Amino acid sequence: MRVLGIDPGLTRCGWGIVDGRPGARPTAVGVGVIRSSAELDLELRLLELHTQVTALLREHRPDVVAIERVFTQNNKGTATGTAQAAGVAALAAAQADRPVAWHTPSEVKAAISGNGRADKEQVTLMVTRVLGLAAAPKPADAADALALAVCHVWRGPAQTRLRTAALAGGLGAPMASRTLPRWTGVSAR
């Protein structure tokens, strides 16, 4: 499986591409950062991001795009820009007919380091070790994007199977229309 990891941001949007499968050591294919100037109008910055992500999708043909799920931050301006960048990356993936997987920062940190509260240095160190890189990816946005891709390689297939099973069992339906399994004898109605 080939995964394009995206650590969204308006000024610096990290990207990392990894090949791998669960239970095996993944391999880094490429890594970098898409930059845009704060001097540009917002719509031009988003257009540049879309253009660059689209180019990555065409060149590397990933099976899936893993994007960091935006969480509420103290700085609402930063959270808004991050959310806009994530949305543009998801749009580019949809236009390329590639599925998108969303992973929280703590989920990615736990997957790569075993600690959901790992700092940037720990994440970078573990990405370097797990992927067997000669040098640490810089800046941290690039390392975070590789961590997202590794997280999805290791956890994505199992999460997809669980989601599919839940939907097949009616667990994805609204609570009022669900019936609990027969063995309980209890109905959700």
Report phi then psi at 169, rounded to 5.
-85, 5
Task: Read off the tokens for 80.
Answer: 């808004």
Tens of pLDDT, residue by residue over 41-71, are: 999 999 999 999 999 999 999 999 999 998 7
Cα–Cα distance for residue pair 51/43, rounded to 1 Å: 12
Tens of pLDDT, residue by residue over 129-183, are: 999 999 999 999 999 999 999 999 998 877 777 777 888 887 655 544 444 344 3
Active-site residue, from 48, 68, 107, 144: 68
Element housing 5 (H / E): strand 2-7
Cα–Cα distance for residue pair 122/25, rounded to 1 Å: 19
Active-site residue, from 48, 107, 141, 144: 141
**pTM for this prediction:** 0.84
State yes or no: is 7 an active-site residue. Answer: yes
State yes or no: is 68 an active-site residue. Answer: yes
State yes or no: is 141 an active-site residue. Answer: yes
Cα–Cα distance for residue pair 31/22, rounded to 1 Å: 21
Active-site residue, from 7, 48, 107, 144: 7
